Amino acid sequence: MTGLGMSLRGRVTLFVVAVVVLPLLAGAVLVQRVSERDDQPTPADLDRAVAASRDHFALVRARAADQAEMLALANAAARVTADDPEQAYEFLVEQFDTTVQRADAVLLVRRDRTLLAQHEASAPVGITAPSAEDVAAHVTGQPPAGALIETRPLWPAGRFVGWAVAVTWLDDEFARALPAPQAAVLDGGVVMGGSAPLPDDLSLPAAGSTDRGGARTVGRYALAMTQLDEDHERSLLLWAPTTSAAPLALVWLVLLAWAVASVALTRVALDKVVTVPVLRAATVAREVAGGDLEQRIEPVGPAELRELDMALNDMSGELDRRLRQLAESRDQLRGALSRLGETLSSSLNLDRTLAVVTDTAMDTVQADRATLILTTEDNDLEVKIDRGFDFADDTTFDEHSLPGWVVRTGLSVRLPADQVVISPAVEGGVLATHQLSVPVSGTATGGCIGALVLARPEWGPSFSEDDLRTVRTFANQAGVAIENVLLHQEARRLSLTDPLTELWNFRYFQLQAIREVESATRYNRPLGLLIVDLDHFKRVNDRHGHPVGDQVLAEVARRIRTSTRLPDIVARYGGEEFVLLLPGTDDAGAVVTAERIRRRLSRLPIVAGGQDALRISVTCSVGVAAYPVHGATVDELLRRADAALYTAKSEGRDRVVNAADVAADVRPPVNSRVAAR
pLDDT tens, position by position, 487-531: 766 666 666 788 888 888 888 899 899 999 999 999 999 999 999
CATH of domain 497-676: 3.30.70.270
Tell me the average pLDDT across 57-83. 84
Residue 1 confidence (pLDDT): 44
676 — pLDDT class (breaks 50, 70, 90): very low
Q: Which amino acid is at 417?
A: A
**Could you count the other beta carbons within 10 Å of the beta carbon of residue 417?**
14
- Domain range summary for the chain, segments of one domain joined by +: 8-37+249-281, 40-245, 346-493, 497-676
pLDDT in tens, 400-454: 788 888 888 888 888 887 776 676 667 677 788 888 888 888 765 557 888 889 9
CA distance 657 to 645: 7
Residue 587 confidence (pLDDT): 92
244 — pLDDT class (breaks 50, 70, 90): very low
Residue 362 confidence (pLDDT): 86
Task: Single out the residue of 101, 113, 97, 111 nearest to residue 168, CA to CA.
Answer: 101
pLDDT, mean over the chain: 78
Residue 647 confidence (pLDDT): 94
Residue 530 confidence (pLDDT): 96
CA 93: distance to chain centroid? 27
Euclidean distance between the first and the last CA atom of the chain, given in angstroms as a whole number: 112
Please report, to the nearest 10 degrees, the dihedral formed by the alpha carbons of residues 191, 194, 200, 202 taken in order.
-80
The DSSP symbol for 293 reads T
Report yes or no: 43 and 173 within 8 Å, Cβ to Cβ. no
Residue 674 confidence (pLDDT): 43
pLDDT in tens, 258-284: 766 766 677 666 666 676 777 777 777
Task: List C-alpha distances in Å: 541 to 190, 330, 428, 451, 550.
Answer: 111, 68, 53, 48, 9
Highest-scoring range by mean pLDDT, 20-29, 418-427, 641-650: 641-650
User: By mean pLDDT, which of 321-325, 451-455, 613-617 is the weakest?
Assistant: 321-325
Tell me the average pLDDT across 185-203. 74
Residue 633 reports pLDDT greater than 90:
yes
Tell me the average pLDDT across 146-154. 82
More confident residue, 369 or 398: 369
Residue 121 confidence (pLDDT): 66
SS (H, E, C) 487-536: HHHHHHHHHHECCCCCCECHHHHHHHHHHHHHHHHHHCCCEEEEEEEECC
Highest-scoring range by mean pLDDT, 73-77, 285-289, 322-326, 537-541: 537-541
Domain 346-493 identical in fold to domain 497-676: no
Residue 37 confidence (pLDDT): 47
Residue 648 confidence (pLDDT): 93
Q: Where do runs of H (alpha helix) occur along 99-215?
A: 132-137, 172-177
Residue 382 belongs to what H/E stretch?
strand 381-387
Residue 191 reports pLDDT greater than 60:
yes
Highest-scoring range by mean pLDDT, 137-146, 405-414, 535-544: 535-544
CA distance 487 to 479: 12
6 — pLDDT class (breaks 50, 70, 90): low
What does residue 235 show for φ and ψ, rounded to 5 degrees? -145, 165
User: Which architecture characterizes domain 346-493 according to CATH?
Assistant: 2-Layer Sandwich (3.30)
Tell me the average pLDDT across 5-31. 62
Tell me the average pLDDT across 81-107. 84
Entry pTM? 0.39
Residue 12 confidence (pLDDT): 62
